[in-house]
Structure 1
Amino acid sequence: MTLNRFVFKTHKWLAVATGLFTLLWFVSGVLMMLPSNLLGGGSAPNQPPAEGGYKDVTVTVPQAVATVEALMRMPLEIAAVELRRVNGRLTYALRTPKWGTFLVDAMDGRRVQITEEMARQMATRAMRGHAQIREVTLLRKHTLDYGALLPAYRIAFDDPGATLIYVSTETGQMGSSDRLGRLRGFVAGTHTFEFLKPLMSGKAIKLWLILFSIVGTAMSVFGFWILWIQWKNWLARRAGRAAGAI
């Protein structure tokens, strides 16, 4: 095989691969713009009726902070306080810069810990009895279908949509996805490359980007090489000489 033939074949197959990648990128971008109800999947499960209302809050923020400080046996710097519902009950989420987030029941002052049993209860409440729990997994690493706060329980249900509900062990926040929603997420990930973040470090992603940049540069150089050969052949044909082979 001549050098010119090698350059031509390499450029052709690089162009085919790049064209397919570009087509996938455009298609995934279009799918990202479609309404979520066309492709399925939500990010948060429907919440069932709550236990008690704001009138039933008897614990103040200072009392909640005191509960956590007594637990830790040290003063704590509280960066933010949020009143949210955890397993149907109003709960203070006390976020600290160093020790993460602590949950305190706003109605009885007890520390709230997200155990597997509580995660099961929360997920079952969210599904409102429409499906049974098939499997519970404690996630300690990000996966293709989950990239939020860790650790978290992933509760799989046996419904037709293969619903997964995620419960953060630290904050009690919930998320969910179904089969179509995960497919939509994967398609969107091929457009934004978000699916690479749970699987690869930032350094590895940069190395891949450098590799693709080198491939793109090589394809451009080979393309100019072929253009130069074609230009020489055109000049040769005009002059009545035999054109060189590619």
Structure 2
Amino acid sequence: MKPIVFFRKFHKWLGLIIGLQLLLWTMGGVVMSFFDIEKVRGEVNIAKQQVINLEQPINISAQELLQRLDFVPTSIELKGWMGNLVWAAKSKQHYQLVDAQTGEMITPLNEDQARQVAEADFAGKGEIAQVVLLDEEGIKEFGEVRGRKAPLWQMQFNDEDNTRIYVSAEKGSLVARRNDTWRFYDFFWMLHIMDYKERSDFNHPLLIIAALLALFMSLSGLYLVIKLVIFKPKRAKING
């Protein structure tokens, strides 16, 4: 079989095998370049963060903190939380926020505290319309905060993009911002990286094989262009 015939067939069959995925890659690229990534991440609605007053008294010393905890921390730090200074103590299995003035145990957060965290972060037009406490199954069901540790408070706002803010009950911190734009973007991200379950792995065998097939199709197409267009074979003239 002549090389030109082989590459024609090779290119055609590769096109049939990988053509749909090439279309999906192109569509995904268009979608991902069209949307402002800050809007996708919900960062356009982030409120100005509260300034921490570093002169406020610290009534609970580090030593007193250790006496109040029911676990032995591997590290403790003084940090800001909702405008106040708090102690953050953590070990491999535990995490605890403690008010540095009153000694009150802040975490795990209740609904009112989680609302305060979400509302302090959100500067868009809308209010919290629904609150859901998600366990591991709930996190999997919603599919918006894959890999995050339960329990999480989900705060659903009634703004035009249906913003969802996720707050860690254990750590007292905001862990993710989601919205309908993110949902649309995430669908095409899934198609783009071909990870149809977790939507986070772009080093898996299926994607690598598809990328190699696309590369071979491109190289065979380039060969055909060079052979048939740039070095176009001359046709023999028929005398008579």
Q: Cα RMSD (Å) of the superposition?
A: 4.7
Map 1:108-123 → 2, pairs under 5 A:
108-117=102-111, 118-123=113-118
TM-score, normalising length: structure 1 = 0.64
Query: Match of 1:211?
Result: 209
Task: Please list, as runs of the form range in 1=range in 2, the aligned pairs for 1:141-220 lying within 5 A after superposition.
Answer: 141=139, 145-146=144-145, 149-151=148-150, 152-175=152-175, 177=177, 179=179, 182=182, 186=186, 189=189, 196=195, 199=198, 202=201, 205-220=203-218
Separation (CA, whole Å) in 1 of partners of 2:127 and 2:200: 37
Alpha-carbon distance, 1:225 to partner:
7.0
1:9 matches 2:8: no
Identity percentage of aligned residues = 17
SS in 1 for 2:159: coil
Note if contact 2:163-2:178 (Cα within 8 Å) is conserved in structure 1.
Answer: yes
Alignment of 1:58-137 (within 5 A): 58-68=59-69, 71-72=70-71, 75-78=72-75, 80-86=76-82, 89-96=84-91, 98-117=92-111, 118-123=113-118, 131-137=127-133
Partner of 1:111, secondary structure, is coil
Hey, what's the Cα distance between the residues in 2 that align with 1:43 and 1:62? 41
* 2:145 aligned with 1:138: no
Provide the rounded CA distance (Å) in 2 between the counterparts of 1:45 and 1:229.
56
- What stretches of structure 1 of length at least 5 have no aligned partner? 242-246
2:204 partner SS:
helix
Q: 1:30 to 1:229 in 2, by over 3 A?
A: same
Unaligned regions of 5+ residues in structure 2, if any?
A: none
For residues 14-67 of structure 1, the C-alpha deviation after alignment (integer angstroms, 9 at most, x for no partner) is: 4675366246436624645x7x37x78228853787998742431122322332
Q: Is 1:28 aligned to 2:32, yes or no? A: yes
Instruction: With the length of structure 2 as denominator, give the TM-score of the two structures.
Output: 0.65
